[in-house]
Chains A and B, each alone.
Chain A
C-alpha cells in the first residue's frame, strides 16, 4: 500500500537537549545538540502530562522558558528516565 503506515512520519517529535537545573529543579542552562549552552532568562508556565499508565507510562513535566537573547522554548523532563527534551507545545 503506497500510503501505508510505514510512510507516516510523526510531526513535532521531541528533540533531546541537555539541561542543568537549579536547586528547585527549574532549568537554568539549556544545551541543544547543535549549539552551545544558553542560559535561561525566565521561566513561564509549567504543566504535567501523565498518560498511558495502562501500558508504558508516560510522565512529563513541561517547562516553558525564555532563553538569553529572547528565544522561547518548551522543555520537558521525562520523569521516567530523567532525560530532558524540547518540543513545540
Chain B
C-alpha cells in the first residue's frame, strides 16, 4: 500500500498516443463490414438517444456527433447505428495502456483512445525518438494482437516495420488510425499528434516548440465552443496570434482559463506526464439466476456489491475515489456506469449515489445477467482511515484468534496441556518483581 503514498512518476518529455474515434474503431474491429459503410455509435450515457462517434463516411453525409437518431438517419439513410459497448472499449483501452506501460513506466490516460507516455530517460534503452516511437508501436501492436485478438492494424503498422505482415486478418484494420506526437510537455505532444498523418508520428524537436505552436490553429487549445467562437470573433486564428497579445489582455477577457490558454500557446508552460499510481482494483460480481431488469432489484444488488467490496481487505485504510459498475446484458450487450467521487469515501450510500443516478438516468438497455462493481482508484483515508484501521485491526485480531485457537487445540492434543499463556498485570506497582506480572493459560 505504500505505493499509494509515494508520489507518481513524472516526465517532462511526452509522447501522445492518439487513436481518434477509438470506440468506433473497436466496433469496426469486431464488425469489419462497418468500415466500408457510414456508421455511427450511439451515446452511452445520454437519456436521449443521440449520435456519439461518427465514421468519416457518415461525416461526409453530414452526420455529426450530438445529432438525434432521426436527424442522422434523415441525412444518411444508409447509416449503420451501433449500440455502444462501453465495457468493451474500456477493456481495449486498458490493454492499450498496459502495452504502453511496457515501454515506459510513466503512462497517463487522458480519455478513451488518448494517452500520454513519459519519455524521460528512455533514450538509453531505445535510442532516439524514432526508436522509442517504434518501440511504442511494436509494443501496442503486439500486445493488442496477442492478448485480446484485436487486429493489430487498428494500431498502425508502418510498412517498413518487420512485423507489418502480422495479424491483419481484415482489410478494414489496414487503415492506420494510430497517431503519435512527440514534444516537451503534454500539450505540445498532443498538438503534434493531431498534426501527424494517420499511422505516422510527428516529432517537435527540443527548442522548436514555440515555432511549432505559433502556426497551429487555436482549436487545438482545450476550448469550449463559446470561447472558440469568441477567439475567432477577435480575429485570433492561430496560437501565434494569441501568444502575441499580452497575457493580461487574454486574462482580462477569459479569466483563469485564458491565462492557461495563453501560456500553452506561448509555450510558457509544459505540463509533465504524470504516471498513474496503479491501483489494484477491487472487483466483486453477482450473476443472476435469471436476467434482471427490475430497477429496484438492480439497486439492491448494487448496494450489496458495494458492501462486499468495502469489506475487501485491500480496501482497508483507503477511501474509494473511483467506482464503476458494469453489467453484462442479454444478447452480449453491456452497460457501464463510472463515477469519480469528489470526496473519496468508504460509505456505501455515498459511493452508490452516483451509480444509482446513472442507473435511473441511463438504465441498461436490456436485462442484466451479471453485475460487477469495481473500485478502481483510492485515496488515503483521513478521519475515516482510523475507523477503517480499527475495522482492519478487528479483522486481523479475529484472524489471529482463529489461528491461535487452532494452534492451542493442536498443542493441547499433543502435550496434554496448553502451552500458551497470557501475560497479565497483577501488581505492576509492586517493589517485588515477582508480584508484578503473572501468566495465565491462553484460551482463545
Do A and B pair up? The answer is: yes
Q: Footprint of B on A, CB under 8 Å?
A: 2-3, 7-14, 49, 51, 58, 87-89
Q: Which of the residues B438, B441, B443 comes within 8 Å of A10, measured between beta carbons?
A: B438
Name the contact of B432 in the complex, choosing from A2, A3, A51 (C-beta under 8 A).
A51
Q: Are A11 and B439 in contact (CB under 8 A)?
A: yes
The interface residues of chain B lying within 8 Å CB-to-CB of A10 are 426, 434-435, 437-439
Cα distance A88–B436 in the bound complex, in angstroms: 12
Is the Cβ of B438 less than 8 Å from the Cβ of A49?
no
Chain A residues whose C-beta falls within 8 Å of the C-beta of B166 in the assembled complex: none
Q: Which residues of B contact A (CB under 8 A)?
A: 421, 423-424, 426, 431-441, 443
| B434–A13 CB distance below 8 A | yes
Assess the B432–A58 pair: CB atoms within 8 A: yes
Most chain A beta carbons < 10 A, residue from B423, B433, B441:
B433
CA distance A60 to B424 in the complex (A): 25
The answer to whether B433 and A3 have CB atoms under 8 Å apart is: no
B154, chain A: closest CB distance, angstroms: 70
Closest Cβ–Cβ distance, residue A83 to chain B (whole Å): 15
Find the A residue at minimum CB distance from B435. Answer: A10
Determine the distance from Cα of A11 to Cα of B432 in the docked complex, in whole angstroms. 11
How many whole Å from B420's CB to the nearest CB in chain A? 13
Cβ of A11: which chain B residues have Cβ within 8 Å of it?
Answer: 423, 434, 436-439
Residues of chain A contacted by B436 (CB below 8 angstroms) = 11-12
Are B431 and A9 within 8 A (Cβ)?
Answer: no
Give the interface SS of chain A, mostly helix, strand, loop or mixed: loop
Chain B nearest Cβ from A41, distance in angstroms: 24
Pick the contact of A12: B421, B437, B443 (CB < 8 A).
B437
**Which of B423, B424, B432, B441 is the most central at the interface, judged by chain A CB atoms within 10 Å of its CB?**
B432
Report the separation of the CA atoms of residues A51 and B431 in the bound assembly, to the nearest whole angstrom: 8
Q: Which chain A residues border B431 with CB–CB below 8 Å? A: 49, 51
Q: Which residues of A contact B432 (CB under 8 A)?
A: 49, 51, 58
Report the Cα distance A12→B423, complex, angstroms: 12
Residue of B whose beta carbon sits closest to that of A8: B438
A88→B437 CA distance, assembly (Å): 13
Residues of B within 8 A of A49 (CB): 431-432
Q: How far is the CB of A38 from chain B (nearest CB, A)?
A: 22
Contact yes or no, B443 A14, CB < 8 A:
no
Cβ contacts A to B, 21 pairs, < 8 Å: A3-B441, A7-B440, A8-B424, A8-B426, A9-B421, A9-B439, A10-B426, A10-B434, A10-B435, A10-B438, A10-B439, A11-B423, A11-B434, A11-B438, A12-B436, A12-B437, A13-B434, A14-B434, A51-B431, A58-B432, A88-B433
Candidates A2, A3, A7, A87; contact of B434 at CB < 8 Å: A87
A7 and B426 CA atoms in complex are apart in Å by: 13
Q: Which residues of B contact A12 (CB under 8 A)?
A: 433-434, 436-437
- A89 / chain B contacts, CB cutoff of 8 Å: 433
B443 touches A8 (CB 8 A): no
List of B residues within 8 angstroms of A13 by Cβ: 434
Residue in A3, A9, A51 whose CB lies within 8 Å of B443: A3
Nearest to A89 among chain B residues (CB) is B433
Max count, chain B CB within 10 A of own CB: residue among A3, A10, A58, A87: A10
